[in-house]
């Protein structure tokens, strides 16, 4: 595996750690800052909404810059945000730090996915995205439990100090290991403004895929945001058990992410439908069997597997539906984080309504059921559309007009400046 993927993975690891670690630290943060459980969900929704907004704004501001330089700048901003949270005297300042860190999240994954795809042949696009997202999943296996333990022993601020250090390491790795050619933006692409890219959002396939993304993520976060309370209040685990339970969940994320990337390169729509259906069934069963400790361990693992099995396929699908427009990759990240905020908010409402700490599981199941219906409609309508009939990573002649030229976005070894997936010479970069 090229070292560039290691650098991208380290960046996604740090970002994933910042996003998810709060789930294990939520009780400590709530007590330390004098917040109720439902009020503390601002740590989730504030972060997620900042990701959604920041992704569009930063992408619009940096679309003509070299992508490697943009990634380095984004991770630097991420480290500064975590530094602010670590030193924050009040909840407002801590939340501000998370907002600053969140501003880089969406653009990093959107731009990073384009850089990752450029380093591999087109038929491995979803697997390339899965490798980059592996850092995000490993953050749940190793980082989140570690952060939880650090928070319990030395306070939640110590966790954010550690994340700041990881961010600085990621900056150095990106500078040294990501090849410059992987982040190059063609001269023709630099001349493309924001308005031509916005035209791709006239496509129903783009909007339906974004909706499925938002609902898929929202379902998982509807359950995950309050999983620590579910385990301690409903299942009967102690707070000391949360760390290893998150390892189980994170292991499912790793397996689901890698398996989903490989499966999506074979049949993307089928993989997305199966992953959403599996998540709906798992969350429903989890709610019904939440009082059983053995069943809860198995089901939280399956939640991770199905929850992330569709992650590699969604960004490649939406960018292909948009003819490779870079803004579409960012919109996918924004959609996922809008879903995150929605899921966390609805889960908090369910708890505040007195429905119990297992209620977020039903909230998640309901959200993903809607997402499954949207994905089925998307897949069926996509088959009848010529621009998606060619299958994964092929848009069968679908194009979008830049004003200067009109390029095919078919998944072949040709230069296409629109989606900038032009490959280096054979042997210059490959993914093992």
The domain segmentation of the chain, as residue ranges, is 3-185+199-392
pLDDT in tens, 250-272: 899 999 999 999 999 999 999 99
**pLDDT given for residue 423 in this prediction:** 33
Output the CA angle 328-54-252, nearest 5 degrees: 70
Examine the pLDDT at 360 and tell me if it is beyond 90.
yes
pLDDT band at 419 (very low <50, low <70, confident <90, very high): very low
pLDDT band at 23 (very low <50, low <70, confident <90, very high): low
**pLDDT given for residue 32 in this prediction:** 66
Buried b (16+ CB within 10 A) or exposed e, 341-366: bbbbbbbbebbeeeebbbbbbbbbbb
Average pLDDT, the chain: 79
pLDDT band at 12 (very low <50, low <70, confident <90, very high): very high
**pLDDT given for residue 374 in this prediction:** 96
Instruction: Return the minimum-mean-pLDDT range out of 217-226, 377-386, 419-428.
Output: 419-428
Task: Find the helix or strand (DSSP H, E) in which 401 lies.
Answer: strand 399-401
pLDDT in tens, 378-406: 999 877 554 443 433 333 333 333 333 33
Helix ranges (DSSP H) in 155-309: 156-177, 187-190, 194-198, 204-224, 227-229, 242-266, 268-288, 293-309
pLDDT band at 46 (very low <50, low <70, confident <90, very high): low
pLDDT band at 104 (very low <50, low <70, confident <90, very high): confident
DSSP-assigned states of every residue in 340-371: HHHHHHHHHHHHHTT--TTHHHHHHHHHHHHH
pLDDT over 70 for what percent of the chain?
Answer: 79
Mean pLDDT, range 348-370, rounded to an integer: 92
CATH label, 3-185+199-392, candidates 1.10.40.50, 1.20.1250.20, 3.40.50.261, 1.10.287.3510: 1.20.1250.20
pLDDT band at 47 (very low <50, low <70, confident <90, very high): low
Examine the pLDDT at 58 and tell me if it is beyond 90.
no
**pLDDT given for residue 426 in this prediction:** 31
Q: Is the pTM above the cut of 0.85?
A: no
Euclidean distance between CA atoms 273 and 263, whole angstroms: 12
Q: Phi, psi at residue 63, to the nearest 5°?
A: -60, -25
pLDDT over 90 for what percent of the chain?
Answer: 34
Task: Find the helix or strand (DSSP H, E) in which 383 lies.
Answer: helix 359-384
Examine the pLDDT at 164 and tell me if it is beyond 90.
yes
């Amino acid at each position: 595996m090229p070292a560039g993927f290691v650098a991208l993975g380290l960046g996604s690891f740090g970002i994933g750690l910042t996003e998810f670690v709060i789930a294990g630290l939520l009780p400590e943060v709530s007590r330390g800052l004098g917040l109720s459980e439902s009020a503390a969900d601002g740590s989730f929704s504030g972060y997620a909404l900042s990701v959604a907004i920041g992704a569009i704004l930063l992408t619009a501001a940096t679309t003509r810059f070299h992508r490697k330089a943009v990634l380095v700048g984004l991770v630097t901003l991420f480290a500064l945000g975590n530094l602010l949270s670590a030193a924050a005297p009040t909840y407002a300042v801590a939340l501000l730090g998370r907002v600053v860190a969140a501003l880089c999240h969406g653009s990093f994954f959107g731009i990073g996915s384009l850089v990752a795809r450029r380093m591999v042949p087109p038929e491995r696009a979803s697997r390339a995205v899965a490798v980059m997202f592996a850092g995000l999943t490993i953050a749940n296996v190793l980082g989140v439990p570690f952060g939880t333990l650090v928070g319990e022993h030395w306070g939640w601020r110590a966790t954010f100090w550690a994340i700041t250090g990881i961010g600085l390491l990621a900056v150095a790795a990106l500078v040294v290991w990501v090849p410059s050619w992987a982040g190059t933006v063609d001269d023709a692409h630099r001349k493309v403004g924001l308005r031509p890219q916005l035209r791709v959002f006239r496509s129903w396939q783009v909007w339906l895929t974004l909706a499925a993304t938002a609902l898929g993520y929202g379902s998982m976060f509807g359950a995950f945001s309050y999983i620590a309370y579910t385990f301690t209040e409903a299942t009967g685990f102690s707070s000391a058990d949360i760390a290893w339970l998150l390892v189980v969940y994170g292991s499912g994320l790793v397996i689901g992410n890698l398996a989903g990337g490989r499966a999506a390169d074979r049949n993307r729509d089928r993989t997305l439908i199966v992953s959403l259906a599996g998540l709906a069934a798992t969350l429903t069963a989890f709610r019904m069997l939440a009082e059983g400790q053995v069943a809860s361990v198995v089901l939280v693992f399956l939640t991770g597997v199905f929850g992330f099995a569709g992650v590699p396929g969604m960004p490649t699908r939406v960018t292909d539906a948009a003819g490779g427009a870079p803004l579409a990759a960012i919109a996918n990240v924004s959609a996922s984080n809008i879903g995150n905020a929605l899921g966390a908010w609805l889960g908090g409402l369910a708890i505040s309504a007195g429905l119990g700490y297992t209620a977020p599981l039903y909230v998640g199941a309901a959200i993903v059921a809607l997402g499954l219906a949207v994905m089925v409609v998307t897949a069926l309508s996509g088959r009848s559309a010529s621009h998606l009939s060619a299958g994964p990573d092929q848009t069968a002649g679908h194009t979008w007009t830049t004003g200067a030229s009109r390029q095919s976005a078919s998944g072949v070894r040709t230069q296409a400046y629109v989606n900038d997936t032009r490959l280096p010479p054979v042997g210059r970069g490959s993914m093992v």
